[in-house]
Amino acid sequence: MPLRFYNTLSQQVEEFTPAADNTVRMYTCGPTVYDFAHIGNFRTFTFVDLLRKCLRANGFHLNHVMNITDVDDKIIRNAVAQHKSLDEYTKIYTEAFLEDCAALRLERPERLAPATEHIHDMVDAIQKLGPHTYSSDGSVYFKIASFPTYGKLSHNDFSGNLSGARVDVDEYEKADARDFALWKTPKEGEIFWDTEIGPGRPGWHIECSVMAIKYLGDTLDIHAGGIDLVFPHHENEIAQSECLTGKPFARFWLHAEFLMVEGQKMSKSLGNYYTLRDLVGKGHAPEAIRYLLASVPYRKSLNFTIDGLKSAAIAIERLRNFKLRLETDRYADGVNQQLAERTALASAAFTAGINDDLNTAEALAAVFEFVRDANSAMDSGEFRAGNTPDALQFLNLFDSIFDVLKATAKAGELGDGEIDARIEARTAAKRARDFKLADQIRDELLAQGIILEDTKNGVRWKRK
């Protein structure tokens, strides 16, 4: 099954391969580090992580850049109000973002690019854009009228009279309501950079164009982000980049739909949001949050509920129990051929689902139908020892994308590896007939919420 993605630019599902040398050059829009990210933001970042894992599963190498927006109006306002430098202020939220990403098992892109480390590249680009720009009161604007295909990504027709329509949220003087700021002159007391184009700070859109081209070249294979970025952010990125290079900016544009709460987008401004920290603090496992965010295909909006999160935790538990059963139960020798074929089909259906524009729902259905059938074969004594390796391999394939089978230790809890080491020590103590030590290890584990169960096939453990 070839890998296919829905391309916002062409409005079609298209077969994907990188343009050159098996490496995917990918740029995704990162966080604005003015506060903790909410799990709506993390729906988009989880989608990007699934995309990375899917591309790798298809044999491609990755060269992925993500920006960190560490300068914007809100950041400047908050930093000034708290008497902090920009760095001091944004460091807190950048670190928090990276910690949250690690908790959700989101892989680091090959490069994280903070905007403030690229101010001079942006100034150069603004100078190069020359005839496509104009200045007004010390700020520099991009002249939309100089880019005739403006609107090709969002499929908006800008040929009519749009006077009065605002496409950018800034309070500066511009010739046409659609024009957007490349460079903003500082207001009284604001933080700014002194540069060849005057004092000021870059606009958000130029940041992404400049860093994407700098690290990935004129034409990206994939550019991705949340659906709210299609317009105006990505439309503006295209206008700037294509005026700079004369080449198409990105071949594929992928956009994730929103995480919703009771029919509305989860957002800071509506106040209907949870951060990862809120949910983990209430006892929800990060992998359950990851599973929930990943379980609905990215082009469908996903309604967040605590019940949905609990169901995600139950689904993971089911898979973990199945894995444990595969690893510890003993089965009669031989291979159940029918089940072997069933495993191969399930595995192919899983890959077909993932390759079909990351249809995670289809991929999960293949996993759970298989688990149901394999569990009943185990119950009825039809499962054979020779079916175990393929079944485990299928679970590994699932986990190479979903990454939820390993349990996250809660604060102060033992990690899986530490528990396994203690169990081994207990087994060794028993073998040496040191039952006092063996019991002591079991009791210590119990005190930490780990219950051991001795079965004829070895030791199983569970968290209380």
Binding site for ligand AMP (CB under 6 A): 29, 31-32, 40-41, 43-44, 225-226, 228-229, 256, 258-259, 265-267
Q: Give 32 or 139: the residue with its C-beta nearer to ligand AMP.
A: 32
When CB distances are held under 5 to 8 angstroms depending on the partner's kind, the choice from ligand AMP, Zn ion, none that residue 31 binds is ligand AMP
Return the closest-CA partner of residue 221 out of 26, 2, 60: 26
Q: Tell me which long-range contacts 148-151 makes (C-beta under 8 A, separation of at least 24).
A: 149/242, 150/178, 150/235, 150/239, 151/235
The DSSP line for 111-176 is EEEEGGGGHHHHHHHHHHTGGGEEEETTEEEE-GGG-TTTTTTTT---SS--TT---S---S--SS
CB of 258 to ligand AMP, least distance (A): 4
Tell how strand 220-226 and strand 198-202 pair up.
unpaired
Tell how strand 220-226 and strand 23-28 pair up.
parallel
Does residue 71 interact with Zn ion by CB under 5 A? Answer: no
Radius of gyration, alpha carbons of the chain: 26
Residue 177's DSSP bridge partners are none
CB of 284 to ligand AMP, least distance (A): 18
**Residue 254 host element (H or E):** strand 250-256
Contact 313, 288 (CB under 8 A): yes
How many helices (H) and strands (E) in the chain? 14, 17
CB of 454 to ligand AMP, least distance (A): 46
Q: Which stretch binds Zn ion (CB under 5 A): 187-195, 207-215, 295-303, 418-426?
A: 207-215
When CB distances are held under 5 to 8 angstroms depending on the partner's kind, the choice from ligand AMP, Zn ion, none that residue 359 binds is none
When CB distances are held under 5 to 8 angstroms depending on the partner's kind, the choice from Zn ion, ligand AMP, none that residue 286 binds is none
Does residue 208 interact with Zn ion by CB under 5 A? Answer: yes
Q: Give 103 or 250: the residue with its C-beta nearer to Zn ion.
A: 250
Q: Give 153 or 208: the residue with its C-beta nearer to Zn ion.
A: 208
Does residue 122 interact with Zn ion by CB under 5 A? Answer: no
**Residue 12 host element (H or E):** strand 12-15
Q: Give 213 or 419: the residue with its C-beta nearer to Zn ion.
A: 213
CB of 66 to Zn ion, least distance (A): 9
CB of 29 to Zn ion, least distance (A): 3
CB of 71 to ligand AMP, least distance (A): 12
The DSSP line for 193-225 is EEETTEEEEE-HHHHHHHHHHHHH-SSEEEEEE
Q: Is 240 exposed, middle or buried (CB count within 10 Å of its CB: 0-12, 13-18, 19+)? A: buried
Does residue 250 interact with Zn ion by CB under 5 A? Answer: no
CB of 69 to Zn ion, least distance (A): 8
In the range 263-302, which residues lie near Zn ion by CB under 5 A? none
Q: Give 122 or 293: the residue with its C-beta nearer to ligand AMP.
A: 293
Q: Give 124 or 228: the residue with its C-beta nearer to ligand AMP.
A: 228
Contact 428, 399 (CB under 8 A): no
When CB distances are held under 5 to 8 angstroms depending on the partner's kind, the choice from ligand AMP, Zn ion, none that residue 250 binds is none
CB of 38 to ligand AMP, least distance (A): 7
When CB distances are held under 5 to 8 angstroms depending on the partner's kind, the choice from ligand AMP, Zn ion, none that residue 295 binds is none
Q: Give 259 or 354: the residue with its C-beta nearer to ligand AMP.
A: 259
Does residue 29 interact with Zn ion by CB under 5 A? Answer: yes
Contact 158, 150 (CB under 8 A): yes
Q: Tell me which long-range contacts 170-175 makes (C-beta under 8 A, separation of at least 24).
A: 170/73, 170/203, 172/136, 172/137, 172/139, 172/141, 173/136, 173/137, 173/139, 174/136, 174/141, 175/134, 175/136, 175/141, 175/143
Q: Give 237 or 357: the residue with its C-beta nearer to Zn ion.
A: 237
When CB distances are held under 5 to 8 angstroms depending on the partner's kind, the choice from Zn ion, ligand AMP, none that residue 208 binds is Zn ion
Residue 69's DSSP bridge partners are 32
Q: Give 225 or 297: the residue with its C-beta nearer to Zn ion.
A: 225
Quote the CA–CA distance of 275 and 282 in Å, as a whole number.
Answer: 11
Q: Give 242 or 257: the residue with its C-beta nearer to ligand AMP.
A: 257
CB of 25 to Zn ion, least distance (A): 15
When CB distances are held under 5 to 8 angstroms depending on the partner's kind, the choice from Zn ion, ligand AMP, none that residue 297 binds is none
Return the closest-CA partner of residue 60 out of 16, 21, 22: 22
Q: Give 7 or 41: the residue with its C-beta nearer to ligand AMP.
A: 41
Q: How many residues does the chain have?
A: 464
When CB distances are held under 5 to 8 angstroms depending on the partner's kind, the choice from Zn ion, ligand AMP, none that residue 203 binds is none
- Tell me the residue nearest to ligand AMP as measured from the CB: 226
DSSP label of 106? P
- Contact residues for Zn ion, defined by CB under 5 A: 29, 208
